[in-house]
Every structure is written in structure tokens, then in C-alpha cells.
A and B are shown apart, each in its own frame.
Chain A
Amino acid sequence: MGQTLYDKLWSSHLVEEREDGTALIYIDRQLLHEVTSPQAFEGLRLAGRQPWRISANVAVPDHNVSTLASERSQGLAGVQDSVSRIQLQTLDDNCADFGIPEIPLDDKRQGIVHVMGPEQGATLPGMTIVCGDSHTSTHGALGALAHGIGTSEVEHVLATGCLIQRKMKNFRITVEGSVGQGVTAKDIALAIIGEIGTAGGTGHAIEFAGSAITGLSMEGRMTLCNMAIEAGARAGMVAVDDTTLDYVKKTPWAPKGELWERAERYWRTLKSDHNAIFDRDITLKAEDIVPQVTWGTSPEMVVGIDGRVPNFEDMPSDTARAGLQRALEYMGLEAGMAITDIRPDVIFIGSCTNSRIEDMRAAAAVLKGRKVAPSIKQALVVPGSGVVKAQAEAEGLDEIFISAGMEWREPGCSMCLAMNADKLEPEQRCASTSNRNFEGRQGSGGRTHLVSPAMAAAAAVAGHFVNVEHLEEAV
């Protein structure tokens, strides 16, 4: 019997399996950030333990950082919020105490952990990768086994180099064909979640396959794998191919010379065998996918741009009807209304889902020579890392955003989870390229609609949601 990509990654890192089915999995790389690591380091200290392998870890501050150039120019001392500053200082102190490599706040390579990791080559194909953040699934785009863990597990990986795990089931999602104009990886991800639901992938590792997936750039694959957790799957992945290797080869920390040759030979085997068995296997047609917009308070509450908010009679159960009622009340929407009639107040382009250079280019292409509608109260563009920011500026994208009336910020997680000052006011409505439209996610009482960067830019210009391909007629 053949092996799936997940089977291969699992077995190459299996230290030992217990009779009860739990296993010790060796972890190649742990990424650390300021929010989910302080209690783990404290745990090590209290138990008098040292990290198992210091060089397995790389740290970077991202969740809690200001995105204002005025604050950032003064490094840690410039952080206005004292609670945030203590947390950021604690990361620096912990990394210094334990000798863990950290990219500091004022370094050009600083960025959202899931943008920085692949960009620097800190995460590579074939690795097991963990981080105290659920969007660690992003790194599966490299053909790696990557998933989010809790803080106790962060401490466990620091102390033992391993994770206690039970093997997940194999789930393949194939998307065949080619997507239409204006349809991106984000739309594919949202369409999949709309199809299988936010718990559809629970207990599974998802492999994304098919011509629509292999046709995606690495940035697109990262967007897709990033959203695997929104479908309930801890891990999402894409097999290694030329696109993967071309991307990895350019990264600073990728192996060089003979070691690269050796690594490449191995990495090329990182794909599912033809006769591999999947516990679950579904196929979507790329041609059926249109640009997506979420209307509710869960990523599965999603519909195409040409669609409408559901009606109560469309709901399968009482729990679903109650869920619809609550979501409509929270979102301030009417059942059955057209998606194109929804008018955002705020635009957010950023997050570990959509803040890479390709995302910046897609948004800028829509905004070039256009203006943000007067009804938009705030429009933020937050690049995923200093490297993305510099590249965008070299291409003149920052000027396009600024001329359109948007704010061009410093890298960080920003309004995706609103831990810093970038947040929605109660009842403010946001077209957001982030990953979660949960109640209060972007600020208490804030209303989130998840979209692609091109669709967020189109909504910014039109003042309402619109198919980016029909923007010309809408303005």
C-alpha cells in the first residue's frame, strides 16, 4: 500500500509509538512569539530545565507590536502600551536567557511568524514545524508537517524536542481545473470551508491537490494551508514540486551547495504515492469557484459575491436557525440580502493569510489610479514582514496605496486579532483579508467579512462588496 505525504512526514519523525496509539514525534523547528511563549519559558525555569536543542527554535515578535512607524522607530522603548511592552520585553529576555535565536523588533526580517519563517528558510520542506499559534498550518505549503500547539506543548517541545501526538487521519481535497479571473487562493480556501464546514477537517491532516492547487504560487499555497485550521484541520499541506524548490532555494537559510543537492533529492519524494489511501477524499471544480465573501461569524458562513445572505428556510436544523439569527443580529444584516449591498466602514489588508508580496501586488493592481470611497473610515495595508515591505516599496506599491487614500503600516499581526491598537469600533464593518470572522475578533463588537486582497481593494473603491472583475461598472 502506498503512503500519503502525511504518512511519510509522520513516519520520518516517529521516535516511538506507544501501545495505546500515542506517539512521540521529533520536532525539527519551533517558532516562538511573544504571546504564547512566556508561560512556557516560566515552566522551564520553575522545573530547572534547559531547552533540548536550542537551534531548533527561532523567535520573532509579531502579535502585539504596533504597526505605526512613529512607535516602531524607537524599538521596544517606543511601545506605548505598557502591558504589551512587558510582553515583548519578556520574549527578548527569555530568548537572551536561554540563548534562543530571535529576530528583534527593529530588524528588517521581523514580521508575522508565518510570513518570516518560509521567507527566511527557517521552515523547510520535510520538516516538522510547530508554533504556539493555530495558523502554523501555513508552513505545510512547503511540503512540511506543520501545526499549531498550545503553550504547554510549546514548553514540552522546548524541553524534550518532541511532541506527544496521535496520528491524524488523511484527508485529500482536490481542486481540478483553472480558476476564473479574480479568483484567488483565498477564494479557494473559503469555498472549501463553505463546502466542508469549520469542523470538516477535525482529526485530519489535509493534503490539497489537483491542477488548481499545483498552479498556485507559494504565496497562494501558504494562504490555502493557513486556512486549513479554519476547516478544523490542524495541518494542511501541498506536495513538493518545482514551485516549492524554486521558492526555497532563494531563501537565506536554505541549505547550500552539496547539501542543497542532497536535500532536493529527498524533498522531491515528498508527495503522496499514486496508490496511497485517504480516509476521506473530495474533489471540487475550480471553475465553480467565484470570489467569496463571509457574511456571518464563522468562516463557514460564506457565499459567492453574486450570492445572498441565507434565509431561515435554507437552514437544516433548529441549531442552525438559531446560529443564523445570532449571526445576523451580531453582523447587523438582513436574511436574504445581496452581498453586493453590504457596505464596509474599514478595510484591512494584511495578516498571516494575505500579507505576502503577491497579496500586496494584487491589492495594488486594483487600487492603481483609483481612490478609496469616501464612506470608508479607515483603510490599512499591513505588510507581513520587513522584507515584504521593502519589496513592495521597491515596486512602488506603497505609493499606489497612499495615493488611493490607504495607510501603509509596519509589519505585524495588526487588525487580524486586534491585540494592538489596530481594532474595530463596536458595530464597525470590515472587509478583511484575515482568517477569522468570529465575534469580537477584530475588536469588541466589530463585524468582519473575510475576502481576498483584490476583493478588499475592490470594496474599498466601490464602498460596497463587488466582484473585482466588475469593479469598472460599479464605480
Chain B
Amino acid sequence: MEPFIVHEGLVAPMDRANVDTDLIMPKQFLKSIRRSGFGPNLFDDLRYLDEGVPDADNSKRPLNPEFPLNFPRYQGASILLARENFGCGSSREHAPWALVDYGFRAVIAPSFADIFRSNCFKNGLLPIELDEAVVEQLFRAMYEQDGFRLKIDLSEQRIEGFGSESLRFDVDEFRKDCLLKGLDDIGITLQRESAIRQFEETHRHQFPWVFDVVEI
């Protein structure tokens, strides 16, 4: 995983509440057995005027001129500004894969759905939760100012580029550490292999039926 330490980038809007993972990554693209290549189909239903199909040449498809990510001013954006309950619905990790593949490194919103938030951290995408009023101010500033950029410092848990003082945000300590170092969860957990084995033995003794081998 690519570490996240400090990121400075252009901010783009996804200005609606309850953006679900079906909207972020429509189901027809979930047939892929790969982890990459989802970026061109991010927000496919909103972004293009025709219906997206897997393996199409997306560069030839008609773009929806009313969708903000298609506006010239938001090209190259790497920070997505969003509304409450972002990422609700399906557990598909294809949603954060698509956001990362498109070029986003962070999403700022008043709240996130649980599974989506967890999926983001595992892919080097930082979900930042800020007060609804602060998010509203960021939206206004972004709309008013062409080329609105923010600088996110994860180790300091601060955002600069808005007003004279930086904005502080909270982040889970464990997740912060993993992101800063670009650590792989599995490697960390396997360091506790003996503790897991020990637990498993006790668990097997207590609940032997759990360990019955299923015969298909």
C-alpha cells in the first residue's frame, strides 16, 4: 500500500447526501477479477451519457457536461469533498479501488458508512470526517474559488489551505499508523500468530462444533 503522509491537491465536489457504492462503482464492472482499472468507470452512471459496459473504450464515450468531475476546473482533482453517509450500501471494495485508480487520495465528508470507511484505509485512501458546518464552508470556498486546493498532513492530523488556521481532524490511531507506514494488515496480524493459535485451541475446546469439517 502506498503510504499517506502529506498530500496536497485540487478539491472536487460530490455534492449530495447518501452517495452509495452502487453509484460510485456500478455492478456491471464488478465482474472483473482484477483490482485495478476501475478509475474510468468511477461514477459511471453520472459521468457518461450512455450506458457503461465492461471492457469498453471509455475515452470514446460521451461525457455528461453537467457532472462536476467532467468540468475543466476539477481535472486532476485528488481530494473529494462529499456529504453525509458517503459510501453507504454494498461492501464492494471496487468503490475505493475506483476512487484511488481515478487519482483520489482523500475523501472529506461529515460521515461515512462503516464498511466503506474500513475499505478506504486498506487502500491508502484517507476518509476524513469533519463537522457538517465545516464541510459546508469548504463547499462554499471550493465553489467560489477556482483551483481550490487543500494540504492534508496525516501525522499532524491537520488540513491547511482554508482560512488562516488549519483544520484538525480525528483518525483512528491504528489506521493512521498503517497509512503513514504503508503497512499491510495481514503482515501485522501474522506477527500475532502464536496468540491466535493459542486462542484457537481454547476456542476449539469450548465450541468443537465450529471446527467440524463441512463435507460437500
Q: Report A's interface with B, CB cutoff 8 A.
A: 12-13, 15-16, 18, 20-22, 24, 26, 28-29, 35-36, 38-39, 42, 47, 49, 52-53, 55, 58, 63-64, 81, 83-84, 86-87, 90, 101-103, 107, 122, 124, 126-127, 132-134, 147-153, 155-156, 159-162, 164, 166, 198-199, 202-203, 229, 232, 234, 253, 255, 259, 262-263, 266, 298, 319, 322-323, 326, 417-419, 426, 436, 438-441, 444-445
Contacts and interface: CB of A to CB of B under 8 A. Distances in A.
A266 B207 contact: yes
Contact of A16 (B190, B195, B209, B215): B195
Given A22-B172, A232-B85, A255-B209, 19 more contacts: A15-B195, A24-B195, A24-B196, A38-B33, A63-B30, A124-B210, A153-B118, A159-B186, A164-B189, A232-B114, A253-B214, A263-B209, A319-B84, A417-B22, A419-B27, A440-B23, A440-B45, A441-B22, A444-B52
A445 B23 CA distance: 11
Contact of B209 (A18, A160, A259): A259
A26 B213 CA distance: 17
Contact of B119 (A29, A52, A152, A445): A152
Contacts of A107: 216
Given A15-B192, A161-B196, A199-B85, A39 B186 contact: no
B62 interface: no
18 contacts: A20-B174, A24-B195, A55-B211, A83-B32, A124-B209, A124-B210, A150-B93, A150-B119, A151-B93, A153-B122, A162-B189, A198-B88, A199-B85, A203-B114, A255-B209, A417-B27, A417-B90, A436-B20
A252 B84 CA distance: 44
B18 interface: yes
Contacts of A153: 118-119, 122
Nearest to B18: A298
Given A22-B172, A124-B210, A153-B122, A161 B23 contact: no
Contacts of B214: 55, 58, 101, 122, 253
Contact of A419 (B28, B186, B200, B208): B28
A203 B55 CA distance: 37
Contacts of A127: 210
Contacts of B199: 15-16, 26
A417 B210 CA distance: 32
Interface of B: 16-18, 20, 22-23, 26-28, 30-35, 45, 51-52, 54-55, 83-85, 88-93, 96, 111, 113-115, 118-119, 122-123, 172-174, 185-186, 189-190, 192, 195-196, 199-200, 203, 206-216
Contact of A164 (B90, B91, B185, B206): B185
A232 B91 contact: no
B204 to A, nearest CB: 10
Given A24-B189, A24-B196, A39-B34, A18 B174 contact: yes
A150 B118 contact: yes
Contacts of B34: 38-39
A26 B200 contact: yes
A130 to B, nearest CB: 10
Contacts, number: 202
B22 A444 contact: no
Given A16-B192, A156-B185, A438 B83 contact: no
B35 A42 contact: yes
A418 B212 contact: no
A202 B190 contact: no
Given A49-B186, A232-B85, A64 B200 contact: no
A127 B215 CA distance: 19
Contacts of B32: 83, 87
Contact of B20 (A22, A53, A438): A438
Contacts of B26: 440, 444
